Amino acid sequence: MKSGFKIFIISLLVIVLLFYAVYWAFFDIQHIKGQDYLRESTSPDEKYTITAYLNNGGATTSYAVLCTVKNNKTGKKKNIYWQYRCENAEIIWKSDEIVIINGIELSVSKDTYDYRRK
């Protein structure tokens, strides 16, 4: 291989890794951990449980609410709701699969809400 092609491939790899790191750090809510437990709610068929947490970003930022959903049959968890400048979580089940969190309707199996992506 020619050295110019090697440099191009290495540069491309570095750029891709940089973009992934930025996405992971600033746009992926799955790495966020809940801090203070607020409440939880189970779906009518008891297949899913949503747990809400209040996260404190420190002295210079406001509170945020994180909600995780757990599939009670498989034990698998994922973050489905992330709202900044919020201190409570109103959780209403519309059906076995559809939940409304603070007015945002989500399918627990396929949707996520991130305030940064309105």
**Full-model pTM:** 0.75
The predicted-structure confidence for 54-74, as pLDDT tens digits, reads as follows 998 777 788 999 999 999 999
The sign of the torsion formed by the CA atoms of 57, 63, 69, 75 equals positive
Angle of CA points 45, 29, 80, to nearest 5°: 15
Query: Are 92 and 114 within 8 A, CB to CB?
Result: no
Highest average pLDDT, of 4-8, 18-22, 83-87, 99-103, comes from: 99-103
For residue 97, pLDDT beyond 90: yes
Residue 85 near residue 116 (C-beta atoms within 8 A): no
DSSP tag of 10: H
